[in-house]
DNA sequence: GATCGGCCATGCGCCGAGGGTATCGCCGAC
DNA sequence: GTCGGCGATACCCTCGGCGCATGGCCGATC
């Protein structure tokens, strides 16, 4: 039994997702006849029909659906493997540091570079909902994260913590105070949650709106649609007159940690971790 | 970034496992130069060395080890996907029933075939350590299993249970009794465990020996090296003069169930499950 | 109801990837 | 020094995949 061909699988997924050969071919940057032939060849290899093509268009068969379910994770795994190899190949020459808005990385990078001038340090911003993936598949070597982190397979080094703040509209009755408690906020107003994943559970209930950035979040707050929690570095960064930010005294502080893939130890990662620890801001 | 090629990955794994190009090529049924070229091409594609080749032979680099770690599960996933598609393709024409020694399947097959004469029923024996895999990747559609089953993703239908027996050498002091308790066995003798996996945890401690079949197990018992537990159907099947089998009164009976992959429902599987339930032997 | 347009399949020629055979280069063993 | 084992290279051939042009089918349009 010959191997499946990942290129053909990718072609198949492209067609299955669009149910349209010509458009899929366009997306794949090949001509439509080539795509038709490849799909036919795949069907022949598997000795089964994957699509029903009739005058109404193209549809998946049951077998096709089965293959689609398998093909997507398989292709993702292949990509991840490829990235991990890429990472291993440059492991002793380059360090890729992931971070998110509001986290200061320059001090640690400078400290690290002083000790390892031969190593190229890349700094790359990482989406929150992708940070664990990015670490595990090798797109970044280490990443600053805010605890808690939900994924397995990551080694975490706590670095520092910062007060948790609440952002509320400037005219809000609570905005006159100097500090707040979570009870006051829970009782008085609706809390906006940052929804990072485009569609966390498809079909299910979802947060107000697909808010992806802190700016967007604050926009909602300024519009009087609610309040939200933020770490202090975020409120410092995005100061605005129509939003007031106050410390919330009874919530545990927001902890920032350095994460890296738990397998695949590396002296460079260890060195960067020490650099990050040395340069972490003092506790507030 | 082009896709990894699974064929090349398979070549790579073959070399990595043998650390010998010529022998790997022989195994792969290609000539050695072709293999050398493919590995070189893979290294070029990944822009990194995977092996160090010197006069002492061939060795993996760190990157090569990383790739090997990823390649094996990837290839296994591809094979499993292929098998699941094969299964989906024949889902409404064929039913593959897995079973293990000592389980009687003919009654259920006959009952099922009477109701579905158009369906081809294949019966295939399955290794214990492979039964969950075989169900999940579609090599078998349903399988008779003995509880408990350790794998997730399987739907289980209990069918019947049978007494648990102990097998001991004919001359053993306890062999004169009519029945035993687990306490007597635990106190008096060493228990042989059936070691089904060729090497359960490489490098770690392992059971006495790689016993794979009931016959082998009984051979050890006859040789006086221990006693073992078996379900009654097994002791009935492999009767021998130098081994005595007695019921163990205080152990829960051995339960036989029908298992199938929890996703991918199928009317044929449902029908076979009913047939199995109808034809299950009465409780002892 | 003839034509047109959208869409997938097919025919054909080209090119490159991959395989086989023969051979080279290196190194260690005897 | 020679020989044998092993991986790399040279050279050639085959086949698979692609693009272009075109065919065949069907539904929409006027």
pLDDT tens digits for range B265-278? 889 999 999 999 99
Q: Which pLDDT score, from 0 to 100, does residue A74 have?
A: 95
- For B114, half-sphere exposure in the C-beta direction (CA atoms, 13 angstrom radius) is 9
Q: Which pLDDT score, from 0 to 100, does residue B1 have?
A: 63
Q: What percent of chain A has pLDDT over 90?
A: 44
> HEC profile for A77-97?
HHHHHHHHHHHHHCCCCEEEE
Q: What's the sign of the alpha-carbon dihedral B262, B151, B10, B49?
A: positive
**More confident call, B218 vs A40:** A40
Question: What confidence category does residue B202 fall into, taking pLDDT thresholds of 50, 70 and 90?
Answer: very low
A28 within 8 A of A38, measured Cβ to Cβ: no
Question: What confidence category does residue A1 fall into, taking pLDDT thresholds of 50, 70 and 90?
Answer: low
B179 within 8 A of B160, measured Cβ to Cβ: no
Tell me how far apart the alpha carbons of residues A156 and A150 are, in angstroms, rounded to a whole number.
12
Interface of B with A (CB under 8 A): 1, 3-7, 10, 46-48, 62-63, 66-67, 70-71, 73-75, 77-78, 80-82, 84-86, 88-89, 91, 264
B63-117 confidence digits (pLDDT tens): 999 999 999 999 999 999 999 998 888 888 899 999 887 788 889 999 999 999 9
Q: Which pLDDT score, from 0 to 100, does residue B212 have?
A: 64
Within 8 A of A78 by CB-CB distance, chain B residues are 3-4, 74
Greatest mean pLDDT among A3-7, A206-210, B216-220, B234-238 lies in: A3-7
B28-77 confidence digits (pLDDT tens): 999 999 999 999 999 999 999 999 988 778 889 999 999 999 999 999 99
**CATH topology (fold) of B90-161+254-279:** D-Maltodextrin-Binding Protein; domain 2 (3.40.190)
DSSP assignment letter at A124: E
User: Which single residue has its CA nearest the C1' atom of nucleotide C23?
Assistant: B33
| Strand D contacted by B17 CB (< 7 A) | no
Q: Which pLDDT score, from 0 to 100, does residue A56 have?
A: 78
User: Is 90 exceeded by the pLDDT of residue A14?
Assistant: yes
Please provide the average confidence, as pLDDT, over all residues in chain B: 84
What SS3 state is found at A34? Answer: helix
Q: Which pLDDT score, from 0 to 100, does residue B197 have?
A: 40
Q: Do A81 and B74 touch (CB under 8 A)?
A: yes
Q: Which pLDDT score, from 0 to 100, does residue A30 have?
A: 93
Question: Residue A148: is the preceding peptide bond cis (ω within 30°)?
Answer: yes
CATH 1.10.10.10 fits A6-81, yes or no: yes
Q: Which pLDDT score, from 0 to 100, does residue A235 have?
A: 83
Q: Which pLDDT score, from 0 to 100, does residue A186 have?
A: 72
DSSP assignment letter at A191: B
Query: Nearest 5°: phi and psi at A56?
Result: -80, -10
Comparing CA positions, the residue from A232, A272, A230, A274 lying closest to residue A123 is A272
Q: Which pLDDT score, from 0 to 100, does residue A168 have?
A: 84
Q: What percent of chain B has pLDDT over 70?
A: 90
Tell me how far apart the alpha carbons of residues A48 and B137 are, in angstroms, rounded to a whole number.
17
User: Which single residue has its CA nearest the C1' atom of nucleotide C26?
Assistant: B55
A122-155 confidence digits (pLDDT tens): 898 888 778 888 999 889 999 999 888 888 899 9
Q: Which pLDDT score, from 0 to 100, does residue B283 have?
A: 63
Instruction: Write down the CATH number for the domain with range B164-247.
Output: 3.40.190.10
Interatomic separation, CA of residue B132 and C1' of nucleotide C15, rounded (Å): 46
User: Is 70 exceeded by the pLDDT of residue B188?
Assistant: no
**More confident call, B148 vs A201:** B148
The pair of structure tokens assigned to B97 is: 């029933």
A162-203 confidence digits (pLDDT tens): 888 888 888 887 778 888 888 777 765 565 555 444 444 444
- For A30, half-sphere exposure in the C-beta direction (CA atoms, 13 angstrom radius) is 18
Q: Do B77 and A80 touch (CB under 8 A)?
A: no
A169 within 8 A of A259, measured Cβ to Cβ: no
User: Is 60 exceeded by the pLDDT of residue B206?
Assistant: no
Average pLDDT over residues B9-33: 93
A84-116 confidence digits (pLDDT tens): 998 888 888 899 999 887 788 889 999 999 999
**More confident call, A226 vs A253:** A253
For the purposes of burial, counting CB atoms within 10 Å of the CB of B222, is it exposed (0-12), middle (13-18) or buried (19 or more)? middle
Query: Nearest 5°: phi and psi at A55?
Result: -65, -25
Tell me the domain boundaries of chain A. 6-81, 90-160+254-279, 164-247
What are the residue ranges of helices labelled H in chain B? 6-18, 21-28, 32-46, 62-89, 106-115, 131-136, 182-188, 214-222, 232-237, 267-279
CATH of the structural domain A90-160+254-279, one choice from 3.40.190.10, 3.40.50.620, 3.30.465.10, 3.90.1150.10: 3.40.190.10
B81 within 8 A of A77, measured Cβ to Cβ: no
| Strand C contacted by B29 CB (< 7 A) | yes
Question: What confidence category does residue A16 fall into, taking pLDDT thresholds of 50, 70 and 90?
Answer: very high
Q: Do A62 and B88 touch (CB under 8 A)?
A: yes
Average pLDDT over residues A51-73: 90
Question: What confidence category does residue A254 fall into, taking pLDDT thresholds of 50, 70 and 90?
Answer: confident
User: Is 70 exceeded by the pLDDT of residue A11?
Assistant: yes
User: Is 80 exceeded by the pLDDT of residue A210?
Assistant: no
B176 within 8 A of B244, measured Cβ to Cβ: no
CB-contacted nucleotides of strand D (7 Å): 6-10, 17-22, 25-27
Tell me how far apart the alpha carbons of residues A4 and B36 are, in angstroms, rounded to a whole number.
22
**CATH topology (fold) of B6-82:** Arc Repressor Mutant, subunit A (1.10.10)
B163 within 8 A of B281, measured Cβ to Cβ: no
CB-contacted nucleotides of strand C (7 Å): 7-11, 18-23, 26-28
Residues linked to residue A164 through DSSP beta bridges, in sequence order: A231
User: Which single residue has its CA nearest the C1' atom of nucleotide C11?
Assistant: A33
Residues 6+ apart with CB under 8 A from A203: none
Within 8 A of A7 by CB-CB distance, chain B residues are 3, 5
Q: Do A1 and B67 touch (CB under 8 A)?
A: no
Q: Do domains B6-82 and B164-247 have the same CATH topology?
A: no
Please provide the average confidence, as pLDDT, over all residues in chain A: 84
């Amino acid at each position: 039994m010959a191997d499946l061909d990942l290129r053909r699988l990718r072609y198949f997924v492209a067609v299955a997702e669009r149910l349209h050969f010509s458009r899929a071919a366009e997306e794949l940057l090949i001509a439509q006849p080539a795509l038709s032939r490849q799909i036919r060849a795949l069907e022949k290899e598997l000795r089964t029909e994957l699509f029903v093509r009739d005058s109404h268009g193209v549809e998946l068969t049951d077998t096709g659906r089965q293959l689609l379910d398998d093909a997507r994770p398989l292709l993702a795994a292949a990509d991840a493997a490829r990235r991990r190899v890429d990472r291993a190949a440059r492991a002793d020459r380059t360090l890729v540091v992931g971070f998110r808005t509001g986290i200061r990385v320059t001090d640690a990078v400078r400290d690290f570079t002083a000790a390892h001038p031969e190593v190229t340090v890349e700094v790359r911003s990482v989406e929150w909902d992708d940070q664990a993936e990015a670490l595990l598949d090798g797109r970044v070597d280490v990443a600053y994260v805010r605890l808690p982190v939900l994924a397995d397979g990551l080694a975490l080094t706590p670095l520092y913590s910062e007060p948790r703040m609440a952002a509320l509209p400037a005219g809000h009755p609570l905005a006159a105070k100097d500090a707040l408690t979570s009870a006051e906020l829970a009782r008085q107003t609706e809390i906006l949650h940052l929804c990072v994943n485009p569609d966390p559970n498809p079909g299910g209930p979802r947060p107000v709106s697909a808010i992806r950035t802190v700016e967007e979040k604050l926009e909602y707050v300024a519009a009087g649609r609610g309040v939200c929690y933020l770490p202090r570095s975020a409120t410092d960064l995005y100061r605005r007159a129509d939003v007031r930010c106050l410390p919330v005294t009874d919530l545990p502080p927001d902890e920032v940690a350095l994460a890296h893939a738990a397998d695949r130890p590396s002296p460079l990662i260890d060195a960067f971790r020490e650099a990050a620890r040395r340069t972490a801001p003092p506790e507030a």
